[in-house]
Structure 1
Amino acid sequence: MRSDKHQHKNRKKRKRKAFLLVLLILIAAVFAYIYWQFRAGVSESTKDSNVEKVEYEFNGEKDEQGWTNTLLIGSDTRGEKGARSDTIMIAHYHKDKGIYKITSIMRDSYVEIPGHGKNKINAAFAFGGPELLRQTIKDNFGLDIQYYSIVDFEGFVQLIDEAFPDGVEVDVEKHMSDYIGVTLEPGVQQLDGEHLLGYVRFRNDTMGDFTRVERQQKVVKNVAGQLTSLETVPKLPKLIGVVTPFINTNLNTATMLFMGKDFLTAGNKNIESLTIPVEGGFKEQRVSGIGDILAPDLEKNRAALDEFLKADQTQ
């Protein structure tokens, strides 16, 4: 009897060892696949990036309400130093609630920049990089931001062309060609990365930058929706590899993969958006030596942002 029990225990041990070995092999295979896909994406980037790979100081903290906030800084510096940020967006991600939101800050918002007096908010990036821009947003609008990503516009082009070989469907509302490097005609069409970039950068409208920000938010939601309609999760490491040469960020690859995977597998793909300053929360003025500006009512805009991020918290 003892011999039978001993043999039975040995068989159970061997089975456990075999199971663990298979599990380790599978885990190793998954990590090898992720790394291979990531490296393939990096190697397939067809153009050189202008993003300077500088390790910036960034003292951001996680939001008290549980949001992971990432400052997205759109740049077309072409290697220039001290350039202002062309686009300022904040991506909000709430892990526990599975909620994703975006806030755009108008670059002509006239605010107090710590140590530099009043200026357009996009000047903060030129004066002190992402950390000064973070401080400026925190001081004026009361938002904690944990991460930053400086994105060369060419990286946007590369990502779109890799993820959507047939282009992204967009309803172009009018003829567009001024200062965007491409020509777009009105109508529903599939846009490649270069033409989609031209679409989101066009600002020769009656409402100027307001309409441009609306387009940017529309495209972010549109691209996000189309990404989730594909079998994109297996391609995620490669997509991150494609854009990595064009991004300077304090997000590590593992965090980007985790957040991207959570978004692609989440059930609710509705992304809400907010534009700062909000309607009725600013005055248009002209400041000598600076030009046309938007003077925000900080109290109204702080309240609007706080309300925006409190929404859905009871889910």
Structure 2
Amino acid sequence: MKKILIVFLLAAAILSGCTSFLQKENSKDLLENSQPENKSEEINQEKNPFKISNETRNFLLIGVDSRGEEDSRSDAILLARYEPSGDSIKLVSLMRDSYVKIPDYTYTYSKLNHAYYIGGKELLKETIEQNFGVPIDHTAVIDFQGFIKMLDAIAPDGIEVNVTSAMIEDMGLELEPGKQKLKGSDLLSYVRFRHDGQSDFGRVDRQQEILISLKDQVMNEFSSPAGIARLPDIVSQAMKYVETDLKLDEALSIGASFLMNPVTEIETLRVPVSDSYENKTYEHAGAVLQINFEENTEALKQFLEAEKK
């Protein structure tokens, strides 16, 4: 099975993790060797897959609760910010039950994930931008089938997680509680589990946990110049698993910036932040999180714009 460069949606959009621990000296040598030596090669410079991206970008990463059905809701909603000059990626999980204002919606307000249901990724993007004041440069969407395929490709031996008795019963697993390695569809069930006291908040924690774990799983894929040379083909294959407005040359450009500026950390935030919301119920929307927008937009702004100390 072909190795995949994507770490769930995060890496699908910004090619995360796999170059996190790559030595800059090796990557510089390869990148320098990819530059044209004569004028005829210079004509094709725009096609050079190792053109470096220097732009800070915000990505909307959407996991949908679908196995191929036409209608679906966004099961996971994340914002990711990549700054080529830094050594970390900032990842924000937006709670899907957040009660937000949806543009041109009959009831004005509803759950955040309802925006995707009625208007797809474009309406969800617009809703986030208007409610939280964060401009979004690119979107990427993946469904359950794509998620399982990538998990099996990236981590064929599974990922070690802490499995509780409640999870084992809910998922129908023949395992003992404690540290266990889960694969593909079982990992999907793990990140979607919410039948305990933590509900969706625990689900968000597990989504972030798996993203960070997958980063380490693929670090060896590009730990050598030979691995870097396979970048264009692997990125092309990886992008088949997602629906994204990120073009192949843009993905390659961002990937090349990782080679020059390795990312060693994923910083995370959950919105709404602690003590900034109330549990409410509305007839048209059901149980929601009624959030303090002023507090959360400020927390989000500080998190995304703060420089690492």
Q: Spell out the pairing of 1:232-243 with structure 2 (5 A cutoff).
A: 233-234=227-228, 236-237=231-232, 239-243=234-238
The answer for the alignment partner of 1:206 in structure 2 is: 197
Tell me how far apart the structure 1 counterparts of residues 259 and 181 of structure 2 sit (CA, whole Å): 22
Q: Aligned AA for 1:161?
A: D
Tell me how far apart the structure 2 counterparts of residues 72 and 181 of structure 1 sit (CA, whole Å): 29
2:119 match: secondary structure: helix
Is the 1:184–1:195 contact (alpha carbons within 8 Å) kept by the matching residues of 2?
A: no
The answer for the alignment partner of 1:106 in structure 2 is: 95
Q: Does 1:245 align with 2:240?
A: yes
Tell me how far apart the structure 1 counterparts of residues 109 and 302 of structure 2 sit (CA, whole Å): 26
Of 148, 167, 176, the residue aligned with 2:158 is 167
Instruction: Give the TM-score normalised by structure 2.
Output: 0.74
**TM-aligned CA distance change 1:96 to 1:173, over 3 Å:** same
Q: Does 1:155 align with 2:146?
A: yes
Distance apart, 1:123 and its partner CA? 0.7
Distance apart, 1:289 and its partner CA? 3.1
The answer for the alignment partner of 2:13 in structure 1 is: none
2:265 match: secondary structure: coil
Aligned Cα RMSD in Å? 3.1
Is the 1:176–1:185 contact (alpha carbons within 8 Å) kept by the matching residues of 2?
A: no
Q: Spell out the pairing of 1:36-75 with structure 2 (5 A cutoff).
A: 67-75=56-64
Larger radius of gyration: 1
Which piece of structure 1 moves more, 73-82 or 180-189?
180-189
Is the 1:175–1:185 contact (alpha carbons within 8 Å) kept by the matching residues of 2?
A: no
**TM-aligned CA distance change 1:146 to 1:183, over 3 Å:** farther
Is the 2:155–2:214 contact (alpha carbons within 8 Å) kept by the matching residues of 1?
A: no
**TM-aligned CA distance change 1:110 to 1:255, over 3 Å:** same
Is the 1:125–1:132 contact (alpha carbons within 8 Å) kept by the matching residues of 2?
A: yes
Which piece of structure 1 moves more, 116-125 or 157-166?
157-166
User: Please, which runs of 5 or more residues in structure 1 have no aligned partner?
Assistant: 1-18, 35-65
The answer for the alignment partner of 2:118 in structure 1 is: 127
Which piece of structure 1 moves more, 254-263 or 87-96?
254-263
Distance apart, 1:20 and its partner CA? 4.0
1:132 match: secondary structure: helix
Distance apart, 1:104 and its partner CA? 0.6
Q: Spell out the pairing of 1:1-315 with structure 2 (5 A cutoff).
A: 20=37, 67-116=56-105, 117-177=108-168, 185-231=176-222, 233-234=227-228, 236-237=231-232, 239-263=234-258, 266-312=261-307
**TM-aligned CA distance change 1:240 to 1:161, over 3 Å:** farther
Instruction: Give the TM-score normalised by structure 1.
Output: 0.73
The answer for the alignment partner of 2:17 in structure 1 is: none
Higher RCO by CA contacts (8 Å cutoff, separation 6 or greater): 2
Tell me how far apart the structure 2 counterparts of residues 251 and 124 of structure 1 sit (CA, whole Å): 21
Q: Aligned AA for 2:188?
A: L
Q: Aligned AA for 2:110?
A: N
1:205 match: secondary structure: coil
Tell me how far apart the structure 2 counterparts of residues 312 and 121 of structure 1 sit (CA, whole Å): 29
Is the 1:169–1:188 contact (alpha carbons within 8 Å) kept by the matching residues of 2?
A: yes
Tell me how far apart the structure 2 counterparts of residues 237 and 175 of structure 1 sit (CA, whole Å): 43
User: Identity rate of aligned residues, in percent?
Assistant: 37
